[in-house]
Homo-oligomer: A and B are copies of this chain.
Amino acid sequence: MIGSRRRRLGAWGFEGVDLVAPQPLLSFLNERLGASAGLPRADPARFAIAPPRSLPGALGEGSREPLDRLAHARGQGLTDLVRLRTGTVTALPDAVLRPSSEDEVESILRACAAAGIRVIPWGGGTSVTGGVNVLPGDEPLVSLDLERLSRLVDLDERSGLATFQAGTFGPEIEAVLGARGFTLGHFPQSFELSTLGGWIATRASGQESLGYGGIERLVAGLDVRAPAGKLSIPAFPASAAGPDLRQLVLGSEGRLGVVTRATVRVRRRPPPLVVKGTLLPSWEEGIEGAREIVQRRAPLDLLRLSDAFETEVSLLLGLSRDRALDRIVQRLLSLRGVTEKSCMMLCGATGDGLEESAAILKAHGGVRVGASPGRKWLADRFRHPYLRDSLLDSGYATDTLETAAPWSRLSDLSERVRRAFPEPIVVLCHVSHPYEDGASLYFTFFFPCPRDPEEATARWAHLKRAATAAILAGGGTLSHHHGVGIWHAPWYESEVGRDGLRLVENAAAAFDPTGILNPHVLLDPTDRLEV
């Protein structure tokens, strides 16, 4: 539940909301990938749920409800959905604890450490890296759901600093700030379902990170509670008093402790975001245009460049709505030199912020296609993951991978990752989250989902391993904003080195000496892609 809205089991988002795959997209996938049989939706009746193991009284009651435990067993990765749909999730937390104060978080953690009970901190549960997944094992385990820690603690309007408890969800943060004339500006795709604490634990980035920065820039101070440690980092605009300990917590994925509150940098609410589309003549020209926009510091809040294939699929998604208009637009575009190699760039800004980028893109052969693609993207910006469920209903599995790299490597890197997928897998790519020195690449791939969950998981794991290897070989980071979780952990050492890993292990050991906190994410290199 978030407010009065009920979350769906084994699918994205809320009951009653859907984004149904349009027929042109299904025809396209059918043509490319062949026909596939749909997977049934998740049904609680399909699960044989073992009774919870007993827990010490010091932990308080918590919830032992089978459905509540099931809802806290897995995140939102593709194979989480497959296993929840097929009733093959067997490892559940023994209880869901919902502390009502930050001190209660601390006492729960101490009691769990004393009793050897493992703890998985739970924000919105939207991890796509296995970051909140319960693994089969003998130790008792609880899910620590922070949903009751969800209030504004303080707003310093002059400094633009807002302190929230960590369990506050995105829409609540914006509603509370909006009522006072402010915005945080952090809008990840999971915005409606994810929390401040989850963003911090995973170093999340919002879609408007170009204008506002990722969560690592937005967090000015934070509090952490751990079984054997406690941090309360004050909100300074900057400090040279030793290393920046906030940056050790950001991305620690629960291994170091539980973030209970954070002070974030907020801004006066600007006029609404305007997003407009431009077609660039090629992927390479688009990347150069994006680079120039960012390096010249044109005042954009958002920039996304789709490759030609993703541009085509986006058009398919739109086609079902107004075919006649679309045919006219396409004819006009072809008259202006737009081809099947054209790549759509969306630029978003407030006020007259789009002018400078438009001029830059014109010099790169850009053809403006007006506000309609941007309006459509804005309308669906938090709904796109629902499409994944609809496609799975039709038998097509979809997953995403993302990375970031310097500008000089992006084109080669995108090509390497595309080639890592065997034919006829459909792979789309876009550039987003651009920085002066580089950008992230985001890949979406589609394959026919085997009906058998083990087969489906093995197929996905095979593709994921190949694509991740290509990302690292191409000089990209293991993740720009999804995090490491359980599934990327086998590659974490190759990114930070043996001694980098050791630094994080040491920090975790200082705060959680018995290793009860989310023990398989980030630092456990076991390959669990097929679990």
List chain A positions with a Cβ less than 8 A from chain B.
Answer: 156, 158-161, 202-205, 214, 216, 220, 229-253, 256, 265, 267-268, 291, 295, 297, 299, 404-409, 433-440, 475-484, 488, 492, 495-497, 499-500, 502-504, 506-507, 509-511, 522
Extra pairs beyond A203-B240, A237-B433, A238-B480 (15, CB < 8 Å): A203-B244, A214-B238, A229-B503, A231-B503, A232-B497, A237-B405, A237-B436, A238-B433, A238-B481, A240-B479, A242-B495, A243-B251, A245-B503, A265-B436, A267-B436
Question: Of B159, B230, B495, which contacts A437 at CB under 8 A?
Answer: B159
CA distance A159 to B156 in the complex (A): 37
The answer to whether A231 and B500 touch (CB under 8 A), given A242-B522, A405-B237, is yes
**Residue contact B480 to A239, C-beta cutoff 8 Å:** yes
**Residue contact A231 to B497, C-beta cutoff 8 Å:** yes
**Residue contact A242 to B252, C-beta cutoff 8 Å:** yes
Could you say how many copies of this chain the assembly holds? 2
**Residue contact A235 to B437, C-beta cutoff 8 Å:** yes
CA distance A202 to B244 in the complex (A): 11
Interface centre among A214, A250, A436, A482 (most CB of B within 10 A): A436
A438 partner residues in chain B, CB cutoff 8 A: 159, 236-237
The answer to whether A250 and B241 touch (CB under 8 A), given A291-B158, A497-B232, A510-B502, is no
Q: Can you list 22 A-B contacts with CB-CB less than 8 angstroms, sorted by A residue number?
A: A159-B406, A160-B437, A204-B240, A229-B503, A231-B496, A231-B503, A235-B437, A236-B476, A237-B404, A237-B434, A238-B433, A238-B435, A238-B480, A242-B251, A242-B484, A242-B495, A243-B247, A243-B250, A243-B256, A244-B251, A248-B248, A265-B436
**Residue contact A437 to B265, C-beta cutoff 8 Å:** yes
**Residue contact A205 to B251, C-beta cutoff 8 Å:** no
- Nearest chain B CB to A295 CB, angstrom units: 6
Question: Of B232, B240, B256, B488, which contacts A251 at CB under 8 A?
Answer: B240
**Residue contact A406 to B237, C-beta cutoff 8 Å:** yes
**Residue contact A405 to B243, C-beta cutoff 8 Å:** no
The answer to whether A239 and B159 touch (CB under 8 A), given A244-B247, A507-B503, is no
CA distance A250 to B408 in the complex (A): 26
A244 partner residues in chain B, CB cutoff 8 A: 203, 216, 244, 247-248, 250-251
A435 partner residues in chain B, CB cutoff 8 A: 237-238
**Residue contact A504 to B243, C-beta cutoff 8 Å:** yes
CA distance A497 to B438 in the complex (A): 36
A434 partner residues in chain B, CB cutoff 8 A: 237
The answer to whether A243 and B238 touch (CB under 8 A), given A159-B438, A161-B437, A437-B160, is no
A297 partner residues in chain B, CB cutoff 8 A: 299
Query: 3 smallest A-B Cβ distances: which pairs?
Result: A237-B438, A247-B247, A159-B406
Interface centre among A202, A437, A476 (most CB of B within 10 A): A437
- Name the CB-closest residue of B to A433: B238
CA distance A409 to B235 in the complex (A): 12
Question: Of B160, B250, B499, B504, which contacts A229 at CB under 8 A?
Answer: B499
CA distance A81 to B217 in the complex (A): 39
A511 partner residues in chain B, CB cutoff 8 A: 499, 503
Question: Of B161, B405, B483, which contacts A240 at CB under 8 A?
Answer: B483
CA distance A233 to B241 in the complex (A): 22
- Name the CB-closest residue of B to A203: B240
- Nearest chain B CB to A284 CB, angstrom units: 12
A231 partner residues in chain B, CB cutoff 8 A: 496-497, 499-500, 503
Question: Of B160, B295, B499, which contacts A160 at CB under 8 A?
Answer: B295
Interface centre among A233, A252, A500, A522 (most CB of B within 10 A): A500
- Name the CB-closest residue of B to A232: B497
- Name the CB-closest residue of B to A495: B241
A252 partner residues in chain B, CB cutoff 8 A: 242-243
A481 partner residues in chain B, CB cutoff 8 A: 238, 240
- Name the CB-closest residue of B to A478: B241
**Residue contact B241 to A251, C-beta cutoff 8 Å:** yes
A475 partner residues in chain B, CB cutoff 8 A: 234
Interface centre among A203, A232, A265, A291 (most CB of B within 10 A): A203
The answer to whether A477 and B406 touch (CB under 8 A), given A436-B267, A499-B229, A499-B511, is no
CA distance A253 to B243 in the complex (A): 9
**Residue contact B249 to A404, C-beta cutoff 8 Å:** no
CA distance A433 to B236 in the complex (A): 12
- Nearest chain B CB to A464 CB, angstrom units: 15
A500 partner residues in chain B, CB cutoff 8 A: 231, 233, 245
The answer to whether A267 and B240 touch (CB under 8 A), given A156-B406, A408-B156, A500-B231, is no
Interface centre among A236, A265, A510 (most CB of B within 10 A): A236
